[in-house]
């Protein structure tokens, strides 16, 4: 995570490293990167680093960075852009995994609506594996308002729903697209569903009650690769 931060547009403001991690070859290399960026580095005993870490077994590297708060006008609405929007996706592991997938697939921006897990929840951050450092993410967005605005800019809204078209490969089409994923248990909210230009679904060929929302995101975004 710290290595991803060092390679991202965000700038670390402080790094805390244990003595053993600083002595490791990979640790020294990472510290050199932070040093070139002028980031202050503190070295401490393993016990001290563990006390401020939120993981059971810290790797000995911690970094602090100031998060960027984005407005709608800050989002890259280029022609052909792909936005991923989450409608009350509540599990932090799912939100983080979806952000990780979005970064991998080259999504232009992610919008988290009301009811979504906190983007800066430690579980969300860890599940993103640094993906949230590399792309614009807007939290607590009014999705109905945001999607209506995007439609006015020429975006097509494709929403994942269990009763959607089984031809999931056709959702991308041409032009700019906002892909919407709904709540794990209840699906899409009514205002968001009404704004959808098309509903898509990953067809079930075997057994199972449902498909995990993060897995659905991966499958639908795979058409971008």
> What pLDDT was estimated at residue 59?
86
Question: Per-domain residue ranges for the chain?
Answer: 2-65, 72-224
Q: Which two tokens stand for residue 10?
A: 């965000």
Q: Which element (helix H / strand E) includes 46?
A: helix 46-52
Tell me how far apart the alpha carbons of residues 225 and 14 are, in angstroms, rounded to a whole number.
36
End-to-end CA distance of the chain: 24
> For residue 112, how many other CB atoms are within 10 A of its CB?
25
In which band, very low, low, confident or very high, does the pLDDT at 204 lie, cut at 50, 70 and 90? confident
pLDDT at position 37, please? 93
pLDDT of residue 119: 93
Cβ atoms 15, 63 nearer than 8 A: yes
Average pLDDT in the 38-67 region? Answer: 88
Residue identified by tokens 């032009």 is: 175
Mean pLDDT over the full length of the chain: 91
**Mean pLDDT calculated for residue range 27-41:** 93
pLDDT digits (tens, 9 = 90+) for 59-106: 889 999 988 888 888 888 888 999 999 999 999 999 999 999 999 999
Which residue matches tokens 């970094």?
63
At 55, the pLDDT band (50, 70, 90 cuts) reads confident
Q: Are strands 177-181 and 82-86 parallel, antiparallel or unpaired?
A: parallel
Annotate 160-218 with three-state secondary structure: EEEEEECCHHHCCCCCCEEEEECECCCECCHHHHHCCCEEECCCCCCCCCCCCHHHHHH
Q: Residue 205 — pLDDT band, cuts 50, 70, 90?
A: confident
| Helices 213-221/92-105 angle, 10° precision | 10
Q: Say how far residue 158 (Cα) sits from the centre of its chain.
A: 18
Q: Give the confidence band of 57 by pLDDT, cuts at 50, 70, 90.
A: confident
**Model pLDDT for residues 159-202, shown as the tens digit of each residue:** 999 888 877 777 776 789 999 999 988 899 999 999 999 999 88
Report, as an integer, the average pLDDT of 27-51.
Answer: 91
Tell me, which fold does domain 72-224 have in CATH? Alpha/beta knot (3.40.1280)
Q: Does domain 2-65 have CATH number 3.30.1330.30?
A: yes
pLDDT bracket for residue 142 (50, 70, 90): very high
**Do the domains spanning 2-65 and 72-224 agree at the CATH topology level?**
no
Sorted by sequence, the CB contacts under 8 Å of residue 29 that are 6+ apart come out as: none
Ramachandran angles phi, psi of 31, nearest 5°? -65, -35
- What mean pLDDT comes out for the span 34-38? 93
Better pLDDT: 128 or 69: 128
pTM: 0.89
Alpha-carbon distance 167 to 106, whole Å? 22
Question: Are the CB atoms for 161 and 182 separated by under 8 Å?
Answer: yes
Q: How far apart are CA 156 and CA 151, in angstroms?
A: 6
pLDDT value of position 170 = 72
Task: Say yes or no to pLDDT of 16 above 80.
Answer: yes
The β-bridge partners of 179 are: 84, 158
User: What pLDDT is recorded for position 174?
Assistant: 72
């Amino acid at each position: 995570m710290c290595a991803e931060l060092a390679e991202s547009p965000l700038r670390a403001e402080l790094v805390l490293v244990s003595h053993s991690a600083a002595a490791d070859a990979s640790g020294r290399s990472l510290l050199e990167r932070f040093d070139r960026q002028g980031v202050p580095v503190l070295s401490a005993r393993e016990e001290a680093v563990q006390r401020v870490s939120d993981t059971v077994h810290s790797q000995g590297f911690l970094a602090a960075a100031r998060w960027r708060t984005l407005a709608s006008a800050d989002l890259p609405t280029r022609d052909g852009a792909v936005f991923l929007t989450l409608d009350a996706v509540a599990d932090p592991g799912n939100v983080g995994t979806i952000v990780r997938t979005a970064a991998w697939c080259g999504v232009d921006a992610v919008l988290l609506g009301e009811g979504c897990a906190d983007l800066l929840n430690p579980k969300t951050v860890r599940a993103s594996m640094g993906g949230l450092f590399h792309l614009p993410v807007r939290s607590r967005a009014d999705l109905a308002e945001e999607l209506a605005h995007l439609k006015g800019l020429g975006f097509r809204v494709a929403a994942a729903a269990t009763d959607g078209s089984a031809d999931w490969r056709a959702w991308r089409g041409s032009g700019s697209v906002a892909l919407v994923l709904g709540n794990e248990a209840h699906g899409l909210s009514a205002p968001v569903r009404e704004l959808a230009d098309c509903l898509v679904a990953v067809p079930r060929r075997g057994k199972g009650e449902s498909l995990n929302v993060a897995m659905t995101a991966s499958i639908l975004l795979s058409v971008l690769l």
